[in-house]
Amino acid sequence: MRTIDKIIIHATASREGVEQTVEQIRIMHIKERKFTDIGYHYVIYLDGQIVEGRPIECIGAHCTGQNSTSVGIAYVGGTDSKGKAKDTRTEAQKESLKWIVSEMIESFNIKEIKGHRDYSPDLDNDGTIERNEWIKMCPCFEVSEEFKL
């Protein structure tokens, strides 16, 4: 088993209320992004169901420079009906996300829980990645406010 010490949370960038399956994401990641498999280890559907994507033993393809020691968890959603970034998580998704994060903390030596956007470059080198420095909005909520170690 590989070393896992961080959890990175994502949104699939799909429209609010529109379900997206692991298989649909897998096909997109393989065809459009040229990945060998889906990039995420887990996907949380609108009803809160947690579905395995890439096997956890395998390095993910979800956050450049961070994949080797991380688990990628994505919730379906992340944009409003017009495609603008929005925290679209259902209550069921929020509960499932809390559950799987706690399971990962119990199972691995997790040292860091962040959203994908929190790995954007610190362009002004002040030690903080501000909103104007985010490369993307994913996961569309402040991970540090919901998850602490």
CB-based contacts of 81: which residues, under 8 Å, 6+ apart? 15, 16
State the pairing for strand pair 42-44/50-52: antiparallel
Neighbours of 58 (CB within 10 A): 13
* Domain ranges, ordered by start, for the chain: 6-146
Computed over every residue of the chain, the mean pLDDT equals 95
Q: What is the pLDDT of residue 147?
A: 96
Please provide the CATH number assigned to the domain covering 6-146: 3.40.80.10
> Is it the case that residue 62 has pLDDT exceeding 90?
yes
| Burial of 41: CB neighbours in 10 Å, binned 0-12, 13-18, 19+ | buried
pTM (2 d.p.): 0.95
